[in-house]
């Protein structure tokens, strides 16, 4: 049982908690679980993370929510894999198949990739795959009409595909960069199609997933040890 002193300390705790979210879990589940388990007054987040993606989720504890704009607006880095030779209506492996094409042996990656670095106009996919909280399955839902918007890609590196058509990639860019759409557009430019097969967020601003605690380990953390995991507000003030 938590003692009164520990509970009072957590009520007055302010800062940033870096969590490594697993694949298949809604980010909202992480937020609610942390708030409930550690008896916190307010827990926000510095940017959502799809259930199908893993990686860094920055949680804002109590007064750290005043800095939500700073964290939300920070640049991000991702790593993942794309499956070449397919297109779906969601841009990932959970959507309805639109077409399949063979992956050419002379894939023009180095010719095409420069067009996907720097300022890039993007349009969100007309459909997306979501996993409702408590549901084991992904559901394809319409996202509505969208207008093109400008993103900036600092880096987009793609390895040559393996025999199974999968290719690893790393991408970094500004807030709001749509990695699914980027992969989909690259597949169109390559002439064979591509879908996002896996995705992991590795950095948000100054924070890295290497500094984050895996969610399953967080669940095992005693109440008295939680404060040591929270990064101080002074990090944001010193930016």
- Tokens 């169109």 -> residue: 188
Residues 6+ apart with CB under 8 A from 197: 80, 81, 82, 83, 92, 93, 166
As given in the structure block, the two tokens for residue 124 are 């969100």
Active-site hit among 14, 20, 50, 115: 50
Known active-site residue 70? no
Residues acting as catalytic residues: 50
């Amino acid at each position: 049982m938590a003692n009164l002193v520990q509970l009072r300390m957590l009520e007055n705790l302010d800062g940033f908690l870096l969590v490594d979210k697993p694949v298949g879990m809604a980010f909202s589940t992480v937020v609610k679980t942390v708030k409930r388990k550690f008896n916190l007054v307010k827990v926000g987040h510095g940017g959502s993370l799809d259930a199908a993606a893993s990686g860094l989720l920055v949680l804002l504890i109590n007064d750290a929510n005043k800095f939500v704009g700073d964290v939300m607006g920070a640049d991000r880095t991702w790593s993942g894999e794309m499956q070449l030779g397919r297109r779906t209506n969601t841009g990932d492996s959970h959507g309805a198949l639109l077409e399949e094409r063979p992956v050419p042996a002379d894939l023009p990656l180095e010719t095409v990739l420069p067009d996907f670095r720097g300022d890039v106009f993007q349009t969100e996919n007309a459909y997306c795959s979501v996993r409702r909280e408590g549901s084991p399955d992904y559901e394809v839902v319409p996202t509505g009409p969208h207008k093109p918007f400008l993103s900036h890609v600092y880096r987009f590196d793609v390895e040559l595909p393996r025999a199974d058509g999968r290719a690893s990639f790393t991408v970094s860019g500004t807030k709001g960069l749509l990695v699914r759409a980027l992969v989909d557009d690259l597949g169109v430019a390559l002439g064979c199609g591509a879908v996002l097969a896996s995705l992991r967020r590795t950095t948000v601003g100054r924070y890295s997933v290497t500094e984050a605690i895996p969610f399953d380990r967080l669940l095992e953390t005693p109440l008295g040890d939680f404060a040591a995991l929270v990064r101080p507000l002074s990090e944001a003030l010193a930016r």
